[in-house]
Amino acid sequence: MTTKRRRPARAAGLLGALAITAGALLSGLPAHADEPGAPAAPTEAPKVDLVLDVSGSMRATDIEGKSRISVAQQSLNDVIDALPAETDFGIRTLGATYPGNDKNEGCKDTKQLFPVGKTDKVEAKTAVATLRPTGWTPIGLALRGAAQDLGTGPTTRRIVLITDGEDSCAPPDPCDVARELAAQGIHLVVDTLGLAHDDKTRQQLLCIANATGGTFTDVRTQAQLTQKVKQLVGRAGDTHSVTPAKAAGTDKCETAPLLAPGVYSDREKFSEHRVYRVPVKPGQELRASVSVTPDRAVARDYGVLLQATDLHGQELVRGTDAGSGRTDVASTGVRWSAPDSDGASASASASGASGKSGASGASGASGASGASTVCLVVSNSFAGQAGVQADPGLPLELTVDVTAASPAPDGPAMGLGHGWILLLVLTLAGLLAGLVFGWLARWRIAVWQEN
């Protein structure tokens, strides 16, 4: 009986050895989470100031049978509950305090309801609950105030404007204010959300958004409002640490701007092609991605295409994204490795909703430095709905990076990501586990027979 008791202990010992062996093999694999060269931590928190219209027209009950102000308040409560801990968030109102008929006084009515900073959610929701539709609609003045609330700094700030009507107090005209803020170079983006659906309001809110590279959304339901504001707050966290540089793409590679690694912004008209150039040396890999934002009402069935070509127009790789309804953004990306100096072939890959890879050894003309010139071509198949302005073009954001080329999938440098070590570990684990459990099964049968 003593021998029988020892057998389970031996089995456990074998299983323990198996676990230790597998762990040792896995621990020897290269780690990728903290590789050098990762982006530096942001120098400041994401900053968002929400500007809420509390003018008298917000009493209207035309959103799912509820008043516009109650819909906005409920959506704000949901947004505040879901705020990321790292985001500095504030609320500014317009038309919330002056109930009189003196337009001069009413058009000064904008104030900071909750300061931009770390949010006490109970206090913020309590402040929102006290709001009652009251006065005029000084949107231009409120935008200036929101810009002051956010301050200046090295990273992008966002204003989210929720209103049900056009400015009733100009001057200052809110479109002029938006252009003024954009011209100051303070990295400020204004996104606008309209609760009313008249053409004048749409045009004004679209103008504000276009001037600052923001988006406009025509809100029809409470769920849509909540989702969109959460999305914009989240986008502030995703993009605030890098402010895109302005680039002006051309229609030909020969005259296209030469881009270094970085993030760039541009505007592209409906169904337009914009071209940029990137030098890539032998042994380097080009990584590029593009996002195009349909910031106005667009027709169904659209797409975005990013191509890398040589100077002769030979395609190296492409990535595509397509959709059939209104989305917040359409984006895709590509990767292409330049041939090594010894003539090794290039490799390519693409990402997107329906990416295609067209690897080719062709390269652009090489200069004295030995670098190939790759042409990045951004195309879109968006079309505006009836009455939608084509100018300015749709906001475009292009990210370019050039790094040391990754090993080819069939090359000698095989890590866990390529599967060989993982396959070896799993094979060994399966073999040992089969031996152990087979031995245990035989031992149980022997014990059963003895009894």
3-state secondary structure 106-123: HCCCEEEEEEEECCCHHH
Question: Residue 451: what pLDDT?
Answer: 66
Q: What is the DSSP secondary structure assignment for residue 295, as one 8-state letter?
A: -
Strands of 330-337's sheet in order across: 245-246, 262-268, 394-404, 284-292, 330-337, 348-351
Distance, CA of 273 to CA of 112 (rounded, Å): 43
Q: Identify residue 76 by its one-letter amino acid code.
A: L
Distance, CA of 191 to CA of 172 (rounded, Å): 19
Digit-coded pLDDT (tens) for 230-255? 989 988 876 555 567 889 999 999 99
Tally of CB atoms within 10 A around 86: 11
Which of the residue ranges 27-41, 248-262, 436-450 would you say has the lowest mean pLDDT? 27-41
pLDDT above 60: residue 408: no
Digit-coded pLDDT (tens) for 352-382? 544 443 333 344 444 434 568 999 999 999 8
Contact 330, 302 (CB under 8 A): yes
Distance, CA of 81 to CA of 129 (rounded, Å): 14
Question: Residue 71: what pLDDT?
Answer: 96
Task: Considering only residues 413 and 431, tell me which one the structure prediction assigns the higher pLDDT.
Answer: 431
Domain 245-404 in the same topology as domain 47-239:
no
Residue 145 CA, chain-centre distance (Å), reads: 27
Digit-coded pLDDT (tens) for 100-129? 999 999 999 999 999 999 999 999 999 999
Digit-coded pLDDT (tens) for 315-338? 999 999 887 665 567 888 998 988
Contact 270, 380 (CB under 8 A): yes
Nearest-10 Cα torsion for 20, 26, 28, 30: -160
Question: Residue 27: what pLDDT?
Answer: 41
Instruction: Name the pTM for this structure.
Output: 0.55
- One-character DSSP codes across 237-288: HHHTT-PPEE---BSSGGGSPB--SEEEEEEE-TT-EEEEEEEE-TTEEEEE
- To the nearest whole percent, how much of the chain has pLDDT over 90? 45
- Identify which of 73-82, 260-269, 392-401 has the greatest average pLDDT: 73-82
pLDDT-based confidence at residue 430 (cuts at 50, 70, 90): confident
Question: Residue 110: what pLDDT?
Answer: 97
Average pLDDT for the chain: 80
Question: Residue 324: what pLDDT?
Answer: 66
For the segment(s) 245-404, the CATH number from 2.60.120.380, 2.170.130.10, 3.40.50.2000, 2.30.180.10 is 2.60.120.380
**Tokens matching residue 402:** 């050039």
Domain map (residue ranges) of the chain: 2-27+419-450, 47-239, 245-404
Cβ neighbourhood burial of 222 (10 Å; 0-12, 13-18, 19+)? middle
Strands of 302-309's sheet in order across: 273-280, 372-380, 302-309, 315-323
Q: Identify residue 409 by its one-letter amino acid code.
A: P
pLDDT above 90: residue 16: no
- For the segment 386-401, the average pLDDT, to the nearest whole number, is 83
pLDDT-based confidence at residue 302 (cuts at 50, 70, 90): confident
Question: Residue 395: what pLDDT?
Answer: 83
Q: Taking the domain 47-239, which CATH number applies?
A: 3.40.50.410
Digit-coded pLDDT (tens) for 178-217? 989 887 877 889 999 999 888 899 889 988 988 887 888 8
Question: Residue 31: what pLDDT?
Answer: 37
> In the chain, what's the furthest Cα-to-Cα distance?
103
Contact 54, 162 (CB under 8 A): no
Q: Give 265's contacts (C-beta < 8 A, 6+ positions apart).
A: 213, 244, 245, 246, 247, 395, 396, 397, 398
Digit-coded pLDDT (tens) for 130-170? 999 999 999 999 999 999 999 988 778 899 999 999 999 99
pLDDT-based confidence at residue 78 (cuts at 50, 70, 90): very high
For residue 372, which of 360, 363, 359 has the smallest C-alpha distance?
363
**Tokens matching residue 32:** 């990728």
- One-character DSSP codes across 111-173: EEEEEEES--HHHHHHHHHT----S---HHHHHHHHHHHH---SS-EEEEEEESS--SSPSSP
pLDDT above 60: residue 41: no
Question: Residue 410: what pLDDT?
Answer: 46
Sole residue written with tokens 């819909």: 71
For the chain, give the number of residues.
Answer: 451
pLDDT above 50: residue 422: yes
Please state, in angstroms and as integers, the Cα–Cα distance from residue 231 to each residue in 121, 149, 278, following that order.
Answer: 18, 21, 32
Q: Give 73's contacts (C-beta < 8 A, 6+ positions apart).
A: 128, 129, 131
